[in-house]
Every structure is written in C-alpha cells, then in structure tokens.
Amino acid sequence: MALLLFSLRHVPDDEADDVRDLLAENHISVYETHAGNWGISMPAIWLADEQQLEQACTLINVYQEERRKVQQENYARLQQSGEVNTFFKNFWHNPVQTVVFITAMLAILYLSFKLVMDMGL
C-alpha cells in the first residue's frame, strides 16, 4: 500500500524539485500525484515501497532542516539590509493596489456583517 511521503501543496517548486532529486539519487521508489485541473486533488509524493519509509523520512527530514537554516539565514540577511517586504514598503511601492485591496477587504467584511444583521441573528 502506498504511503504519503511528502505533500506538495503550497511547496515552492525549487523545494519540490530538490526532494524529487534527493529521492531519485537514493533510489527511493516513489510516484507523484498532481492537484489536477481545479487544484482539488492531493498533490504529493507517495512512497511505493513501505520498507524504504525510514530511509526516505530521514533523507527528507535532514534536507528540510538544512533548507530551514538556509532560509532563516537569507531572511536575516534581508532584514539586516532592509530588503524585507513590509506593509509600509508595499504601500510605498504600490499605493493604489494596497488601497484597493484594503477597500475590498473592508467591503467584504461590511457586507458579511450586514447580511447577518439583516437576517436578525
């Protein structure tokens, strides 16, 4: 029976490619499912041979720990250089888009509350 090894939902393409390459290099027998046309299916990497579960999990855990350290270092570097995108930087670079998004969110909240209040709840 196949086992879910690695979910690909909300995983960056470079991370998914790295995991695929890692498993292929270590001769781990897997197959992949995609999200489908509407994105409602389970995009994942499945383990075909249950006997390789421990090895595959160890490889992925080590890879993700290394990736976490690299990403944290990159984020710290961006913070120190002032390149991290913040709300105010986004507003400064895209004021119209930011105002439109905030207005749309407020309109949705207003309409949601108004609908509930009009129903008498």
The reported pLDDT for the residue numbered 10 is 94
- State which residues of the chain have pLDDT below 50: none
Report pTM.
Answer: 0.72
Q: Which residues pair with 31 in a beta bridge?
A: 46
The predicted structure's pLDDT at residue 2: 83
SS3 44: strand
- What pLDDT does residue 121 have? 59
List for the chain the helix, strand, coil content (%; round to 5): 65, 10, 25
